[in-house]
Amino acid sequence: MKNIIIISGLVVLLFSACAHKESHHQEETIFTVTNAIQTDTVLHQSYVCQIRSIQHIELRALEKGYLQHIFIDEGKLVKKGQLLFQILPVVYQAEAQKAHAEVSFAEIEYLNTKALADSNIVSKNELALAKAKLEKAQADFQLAKAHLSFTEIRAPFDGIVGRFNNVRMGSLLDEGELLTTLSDNNKMWVYFNVPEAEYINYTTQRSSETAAHVSLQMANNQLFEQDGIIETIEADFNNETGNIAFRATFNNPTRLLRHGETGNIFMYTPIKNAILIPQSATYEVLDKKFVFLVKDDNTVLAKEIKIQNEMPHMYIVSAGINPSDKILVEGIRKVKNGDKINIKQKPFYTILKEMQNLRAE
């Protein structure tokens, strides 16, 4: 019985020592804090985009007839004025020759009538009638030449030929039938949609005299070699999505970009006097963001904040804290509102660098 009492006492002493040791360990825990900073920064935002040629048109047959020649192939680069397709011109050549002959006949008749009119043999009215017949013949000849020219489909600008629309040599074409497309890829228009709040930030933070430069991330996640410039913004918001369309123009000297591609636009918006905090300093309760402020007596105070924008490892805060406030960065889950803690100060950018290195690993 005596041995049992001794063992019980030892157990009590052991638990008491462990509890004292654990309490002492908790008291010695040191929490990392930092100060929010206020600085000018640049916000990097990404948007899904659609890539379009600066000129992209359909090439159609202007006259009905058989396709006699195809002088190019799909995907080939062609020059302005280059002959692409030839529709069988026999009928139109005959009409042009007939019209030319009628011009020659009317011209001879006019000259003979003029000679007679100069000798007062015929009246001036007959001369005017002969002149009118000549002008009509000349107009008919020009019309016939125009119809003949419609049998030649030429490139209206330098560009890349698209896919043929099921047409081959010998195909019977209807007037207006689609042959192929032609894209001028020397420059590209890139369209992307921007939410209303980000549109307001863009227009209020940027000077109207400065062109906004953007980057294009292609489908292989590589950045396109040329920067683009935002040249225009659509007039109206889309009521269904709450977005407004931006258009950026990119030079495409190597013609790497093609009509119909997709990608991501990176837009850079300058933010003046932004208040920045590490993302690791925040926690969430019912879709609201909070931080623990550390007061002068080292007690912690839970404070709701409003996030203006998100950046890599950082938040831009619009309300809830001041630049001079100390905030808890590590051990957020170990404290509760009103606790007094031991702290060590760590510079903001040191914490940011550690987070970047951790992500890289």
Is the pLDDT at 12 greater than 60, yes or no? no
Alpha carbons 177 and 59: distance in angstroms, whole number: 9
Worst-scoring range by mean pLDDT, 49-58, 107-116, 230-239? Answer: 107-116
Q: Is residue 22 part of a domain?
A: no
Note the helical H segments in 186-235: 196-205
DSSP characters over 108-133: HHHHHHHHHHHTTSS-HHHHHHHHHH
Mean pLDDT along residues 73-78: 92
pLDDT, tens only, 247-272: 999 999 999 999 999 999 998 877 78
Examine the domain organization and report whether 205 and 348 are in the same domain: no
β-pair type (178-195, 243-251): antiparallel
**How many other CB atoms are there within 10 angstroms of residue 103's CB atom?**
20
Mean pLDDT along residues 92-97: 72
CATH number of the domain where residue 349 is located: 2.40.420.20
**End of a domain among 138, 154, 181?**
181
Is the pLDDT at 2 greater than 50, yes or no? no
Examine the domain organization and report whether 310 and 264 are in the same domain: no
Q: Domain of 189?
A: 44-54+183-272
Worst-scoring range by mean pLDDT, 135-149, 184-198, 239-253, 282-296? Answer: 135-149
pLDDT-based confidence at 55, cuts 50/70/90?
very high
Examine the domain organization and report whether 205 and 102 are in the same domain: no
Q: Position 312: which residue type?
A: P
Q: Is residue 151 part of a domain?
A: yes
Mean pLDDT along residues 176-198: 92
Is the pLDDT at 5 greater than 80, yes or no? no
Examine the domain organization and report whether 285 and 249 are in the same domain: no
Q: Is residue 327 part of a domain?
A: yes
Give buried/exposed letters for 259-269 (b at 16+ CB in 10 A, else e): bebebbbbbeb
Q: Is residue 260 part of a domain?
A: yes
Is the pLDDT at 82 greater than 80, yes or no? yes
Alpha carbons 156 and 80: distance in angstroms, whole number: 5
pLDDT, tens only, 268-310: 877 788 888 888 888 888 888 898 898 888 888 888 888 888 8
Q: Is residue 123 part of a domain?
A: yes
199 HSE (CA, 13 A, CB side): 18
Q: 301 CB contacts (<8 Å, ≥6 apart)? A: 292, 293, 294, 295, 337, 338
CA distances from 215 to 95, 263, 267, 288, 357 (A): 56, 10, 7, 33, 25
pLDDT of residue 186: 93
Examine the domain organization and report whether 48 and 193 are in the same domain: yes
Q: Position 208: which residue type?
A: S
DSSP classification of residue 222: P
pLDDT, tens only, 57-72: 999 988 788 888 999 9
CA distances from 248 to 156, 232, 233, 309 (A): 24, 7, 9, 23
Is the pLDDT at 1 greater than 70, yes or no? no
Examine the domain organization and report whether 199 and 176 are in the same domain: no
Q: Is residue 289 part of a domain?
A: yes
Worst-scoring range by mean pLDDT, 66-75, 100-109, 191-200? Answer: 100-109
**End of a domain among 181, 216, 237?**
181
CATH number of the domain where residue 102 is located: 1.10.287.470
Q: Which residue has the higher pLDDT, 95 or 240?
A: 240
Is the pLDDT at 15 greater than 50, yes or no? no
Alpha carbons 192 and 200: distance in angstroms, whole number: 16
Alpha carbons 233 and 237: distance in angstroms, whole number: 10
Considering just the CA atoms, what is the radius of gyration of the chain in Å? 40
Residue 65's region, left for phi above 0, alpha for psi from -120 to 50, else beta, is left
**End of a domain among 216, 247, 272?**
272
CATH number of the domain where residue 210 is located: 2.40.30.170
Examine the domain organization and report whether 192 and 240 are in the same domain: yes
Is the pLDDT at 361 greater than 60, yes or no? no
Examine the domain organization and report whether 237 and 323 are in the same domain: no
Q: 145 CB contacts (<8 Å, ≥6 apart)? A: 96, 99
Examine the domain organization and report whether 262 and 326 are in the same domain: no
Alpha carbons 128 and 109: distance in angstroms, whole number: 12
Examine the domain organization and report whether 34 and 93 are in the same domain: no
Q: Position 347: which residue type?
A: P
pLDDT of residue 311: 79
**Which pair of tokens denotes residue 206?**
């940027």
Q: Is residue 87 part of a domain?
A: yes
DSSP classification of residue 1: -
Based on the structure, what is the number of domains in the chain?
3
**How many other CB atoms are there within 10 angstroms of residue 316's CB atom?**
17
Mean pLDDT along residues 19-34: 62
